[in-house]
Chain A
Amino acid sequence: MSVINFEFRNEVLKHNASLSYCYQCSTCSGGCPVALLTEGKYNPRKIIEEAILGLQDKLVNEQDPNPWLCSTCQKCVELCPQKVELTEIFTLIKNLCFEKEKYPEAFSAQAQAVLEHGIAIPYSKAIITRREKLGLPNINIAPIEEIQTLLKETNFEKHILKGENK
């Protein structure tokens, strides 16, 4: 059984008040390519409905519908007649899933790379050679200490390390 979590609802509303404008017309789902291909298993209208109702368990723990199936194509936001900022709300929900360590593994690989190197794809020897052959300049990326200081400040490091030990 789903239990209403008012605190969760208020947290979403506090971050994005446009949630309360939704009148459940389903224009978002009608334009969503993933809703079409999954025959409604993924359904942006339903995610918004569950957020309005404060069904944290359904959204974060059961992930029904699964917010990670959003392709981030941003069509729903453009189409919404009520100007609900759907993808911003989905980002917030996914951020909350991340805090509870409920996210696809591939995200953690990218996060680790940024934490260790400051960039998502470190330069391999082969790529450096290829760059030279193509006449491309050497790239001086961010000093890693600076990036790690910043990531400590935003608590990113803590969340990633927590995910590592799960």
Chain B
Amino acid sequence: MVYDLFLGCVIPARLPYLEASARKIFEKLDIELKDVDGFSCCPDPTGIELIDHKTWLALGARNLSLCNKNGGVISFCSGCVETLKGVNYYINKDLSVKKEVNKYLQKIGKVYEGKTKVKHFAEVLYENLEKVKEKVENPLEGFKVAVHYGCHYLRPSEIIEWDDPFEPVTVDAIVEALGAESVDYDLKMECCGNPLEKSDKDLSLLMIDNKLNAIQKSGANCVVVVCPACYQQFEFNQRELNKINNTNYNLPIFYLSEVVALAFGYKPEELGLNFHRIRPNALFESLGFNF
């Protein structure tokens, strides 16, 4: 199987270590990801779309027009996936939108018919779950994972068309296939609050504080996310919250690709786990998890 790879902005330009683990696991699964030249920002469905919908459509359609040769396009980012799926949705729903977008694209010599298939990398992992299980060399015994789906991986379901918008199962199933335990917790389906950082920082912090508190109470010893915005919200705010509220959050936050890679036998240094602000070493030691 071959997919075009849409990297977006946040992962490759700010959190490249997440990209490292994601590329490695697809290599191990013999699923080829092809780099494509010339992508722009997806653009951000919680940024550019909110200030100018037609610019969002035009840039998104231009990106999609570059990748219709392989089995579709996949991204490691829920925001990029929502944008690319969303652009397809609007173009295919309304012929006048398709015409307008193509009127813009014509100026740069491009055309987009709305046919490129878009998938989140977790979708592809779930579709290959048996293969994932076969490749597990180092089961994640003792990992009590609080899975955070985030919003844009699931909703709006009419656009995303994947998993259940309120009772999802896919990421839990992947985590359990690695030998870890998925721990249920209050507020599991709540938003992390990251998009509100742009308009109300206090509110954004309150949302992540509530989630971290619920996770701490559940007995989970780490969190797994599938979106770089959620990743930053969970990892970058723990110290700040500890300072403001006297909490003692110290939860390792893993990207789904990182826990898959650890279970596949990759070593922390190959994955750049040292770049995490909350180092998972203490967790590994307490579980006797060796490499």
Q: List chain A positions with a Cβ less than 8 A from chain B.
A: 33-34, 37-38, 66, 68-69, 71-75, 77-78, 87, 91-92, 94-95, 98, 103-104, 106-107, 110-111, 114, 118-124, 127, 130-131, 134-137, 139-143, 146-147, 149-151, 153-154, 156, 159
Contacts and interface: CB of A to CB of B under 8 A. Distances in A.
A140 B38 contact: yes
Contact of B203 (A34, A95, A140): A34
Contact of B107 (A66, A106, A123, A149): A149
Contact of B14 (A92, A114, A127): A127
Contacts of B107: 149-150, 153
Interface stretch (B39-47, B132-140, B234-242, B249-257): B39-47
Given A136-B16, A140-B37, A142-B40, A151 B198 contact: no
Nearest to B106: A153
B51 A114 contact: no
B156 A69 contact: no
A136 B19 contact: yes
B51 A103 contact: yes
21 contacts: A37-B206, A69-B200, A71-B191, A71-B195, A71-B196, A73-B191, A74-B151, A75-B151, A78-B157, A95-B53, A103-B51, A106-B197, A121-B10, A124-B13, A130-B17, A134-B17, A149-B107, A149-B108, A150-B58, A153-B103, A156-B52
Contact of A69 (B51, B108, B199): B199
B122 to A, nearest CB: 18
Interface residues of B, number: 59
Nearest to B204: A71
Contacts of A110: 44, 47-48
Contacts of B190: 33, 73
A74 B155 contact: yes
A144 to B, nearest CB: 9
A95 B16 CA distance: 32
Given A68-B199, A106-B198, A120-B47, A141 B207 contact: no
B225 to A, nearest CB: 15
A136 B38 CA distance: 17
A120 B155 contact: no
Contacts of A33: 190-191, 207
B104 A121 contact: no
A107 to B, nearest CB: 5
What are the nearest 3 A-B pairs in CB distance? A74-B155, A106-B198, A73-B191
A66 B203 CA distance: 13
A38 B23 contact: no
Contacts of A98: 50-52
A153 B275 CA distance: 41
B151 A72 contact: yes
B38 A69 contact: no
B165 interface: yes
B47 A122 contact: no
A68 B10 CA distance: 22
Contacts of B157: 78
Nearest to A154: B55
Interface in B119-136: none
